[in-house]
Every structure is written in C-alpha cells, then in structure tokens.
Structure 1
Amino acid sequence: MFRFYHIVTFVSCQYLFCFIFFSLCGMINLVKNTAKTLGGRLMTVGENIRRIRKERGLTQKQLGELVGASEAYIRAYESGRRNPKPSSLEKIANALAVNPEVLENSDFDMIKAMHRLFQIARQYNGHLFACKDEEGNDTVGIRFETLTLMNAWCQRYEKFLEDVEKCNEIKDAKKRGEALIKAETDYDRWMDTYPEQSGNTGSVK
C-alpha cells in the first residue's frame, strides 16, 4: 500500500482544492506504488483475482458459480494461463464487489507512470508547485481544482491515519500488530471497492 506524506483539503470559490504532498525523489514512485505488490513487483490480473477472492473467503469453484464459469476457468485466470476478456473481468469484479480497474494489470515503468500523472493533471486541471513539508524537506505538491472526488479519498485517508494512531497506543504487541493489519486491510478494501458496487449478471466466456 502506498503512503502520501500529507493530504489537505479545503473549499474556496466553489472549487475543491486538494493538495497532495510527497517527497521530490519519490514523485515517480507515487503512482507505481498505488498498485498492489507481491514480492516487490506489481501483481498480475490473475494474482489480483486470487488475492481478493481469498479476502472474500471464496473458493475458485464458488467464484466460478457466481460468474457462470467453471472452476477450471477461474484457476486458469489466476495462474495466468488465460487472460479474461474485458466483459469477463467486469463480471468477476462484480462478483468480488470491486471496481474492475482494481483487477487490471497496471504494471508500468517509470516513464509510463509519469505519463499517467501527465494525463491526470491535464484532465483534472492539476498544478504542480514546490513547497516544504512539516520537517522542512523539499516536496512537490499537486493541486487539483476539478477532481472533487478526491475529497472522499482525503477523508478516508485521514480516518486511516487516526486508526493507525489508535492502534499504536495499544500496549500489547500482538494485539497492536493485529489492529494495524486490520486498519490497513480496511483501507485497502475501501480503495478496492471504490466506488461501492454490487450485483453480477451473465456468464463468463
């Protein structure tokens, strides 16, 4: 899971301004680190399906039944022997109650990561600016004037920070570790299911 240094939002002149601060040297890694990782690398479509299926407590057979596919198909998807079609991926995402983009293979190098940032900045009127963090270190900020949905993310992120702070107050090391894992899992699930969706129809082919 990725980490921002700090996020601040405020409303002014009918625009939501969202400031995202991150270290200058870590700018390129920001986008790449948002993807789930496995052993230091980004997860494939099949690995994402397996991860979330297990989080939901489903077997391959049960997931197959939900989307109208055989257990063998689900196993082939998860192992990487077959790649699901976009329509099939959407049905699997619906069955797992996540956004289809969560399952997609978002493996891209640093150059592609930069171009992804460029695209987001163009589409949502992003502005870069140099600034200092609370410790006086050089940072880079991105201000989005039109990406108002960031407000929900900022609020959820602040809640995650509060949860972590409460977890760190637990004296028992084992219970503290379990609480931290739960806080991170809950935050991951919020991102995986954003925006919340339900229902699944049709069969996978």
Structure 2
Amino acid sequence: MTIGENIKRIRERNNLTQKQLAYLSHISEGMIKQYETNVRTPKQDKVNQIAAALDVNPEVLDVPKNVVGEDMHALFRVFRNKNGKFDTAGNPQFNLPDIALWFDEWKKYQDTIASADLLSDKTERDALIAQAEDRFNYWMDIYPRSASLNHSFDDLYEEHRRKIEKPSRK
C-alpha cells in the first residue's frame, strides 16, 4: 500500500471525510486529496499531523521504498537487534516479548473468523469477519499504545467503534 492508500484507509475506517481530516490535521483539503491519490507525497511533518488527526502512529502511514530485499533486511535487523537464535529444529527464535501480543491478537482474529464460518447467515458472517479485520487492523494501527493497554484494548476498540458509527437518521 502507498502512504496515500494508508491515509485513505484509516480516514475511511474512522468515518471521516477528506474535509474533516483536513480540518483535524490543519492541512488543506486539496492537499489531503493529492496525498490520497498519490499525486503528492507528504513530508514527515505532514505525516505526523495526519497521524495525530487519525490517532495512529506515523509509522502506520509510511511505507517501505520498495527496494529489492528491504523487507527481508528489516527482518534480519530485528533478528540481530533482538538477539535472535535458532532452535534445534532450525526455526528462528526472537527475543521480542511484544511479538506475543501480536500473536494473541492474531489468535483472537482467527478465532472470530472460525466462529463466523459457523454462521449460516451470509450477512451476519460477513459483518463478523469485517469487524474482526477492523479490530485487528485498529490494534496494529495504534501500536504501541494498544500493547500497553492489554486487557483494556477491548474497551478502547468499543469506544472507537462508537465514535465512528454513523448516527441513524429518523
């Protein structure tokens, strides 16, 4: 995903218009449109403003430069920096305590998907899957704040969902 796609994805997840994001980030609506359509790439100070307005970490919006092997080298750096070792079966073992939090959230996501597969109503199943994906993405988007919350992340996520729900029209 591009930085523009990430801005748009999170803006839409938060039920914000481009105009609202412009107001919250103190950046013109025209610039937000240009960022989202990849006509322009925001400089770091603008990325920080947009991230603050979207209530996510700036790193969530940024993307690798697509240099050949960059993802693998990022993994190598983590392995080396976190004193990675190999177990007797040759599997990498990372000295990275927070990875357990990611796996916990991943398991919750997988469990919800499995329970959705048991539903016979396609609309209910699709809604449950969409909510599971949203919850997992939200957890990653606000990391490390989400990791420091542990058990209260569910409360934070519910508050997030209430904020973005569109009020029903009568």
TM-score of the pair, normalised by structure 1 = 0.65
Aligned positions of 1:11-90 closer than 5 A? 43-90=1-48
Once the two structures are overlaid, the 10-residue window that deviates more, 76-85 or 61-70, is 76-85
In structure 1, C-alpha distance between the alignment counterparts of 2:72 and 2:86, rounded to whole Å: 13
In structure 1, C-alpha distance between the alignment counterparts of 2:94 and 2:63, rounded to whole Å: 26
Per the alignment, residue 139 of structure 2 pairs with: 190
In structure 1, C-alpha distance between the alignment counterparts of 2:65 and 2:103, rounded to whole Å: 25
Call closer, same or farther: CA 1:102–1:119 in 2, change over 3 Å: same
Indicate the structure whose relative CO is greater, using CA pairs within 8 Å and at least 6 residues apart. Answer: 1
* Residue 178 (1) aligns with residue 99 (2): no
Q: What's the CA shift string for 1:165-186, capped at 9, x where partnerless?
A: 2212212223212211221221
| Residue in structure 2 matching 1:141, options 70, 88, 91 | 91
Q: Which has the higher strand share?
A: 1
Once the two structures are overlaid, the 10-residue window that deviates more, 107-116 or 82-91, is 107-116
Aligned positions of 1:111-122 closer than 5 A? 111-122=69-80
| Residue in structure 2 matching 1:167, options 116, 122, 134 | 116
Per the alignment, residue 82 of structure 2 pairs with: 124
CA contact (8 A) 2:64 2:70 kept: no
Unaligned runs of 5+ in 1: 1-42, 132-139, 198-205
Once the two structures are overlaid, the 10-residue window that deviates more, 102-111 or 74-83, is 102-111
Per the alignment, residue 66 of structure 2 pairs with: 108
CA contact (8 A) 1:98 1:196 kept: no
| Percent pairwise identity | 37
Displacement of 1:129: 4.7
Q: What's the CA shift string for 1:124-181, capped at 9, x where partnerless?
A: 11124574xxxxxxxx632112x11122212212211221222122122232122112
Displacement of 1:51: 1.2
Aligned-partner SS, 2:131: helix
RMSD: 1.9
Per the alignment, residue 156 of structure 2 pairs with: none
The number of residue pairs the alignment matches comes to 146
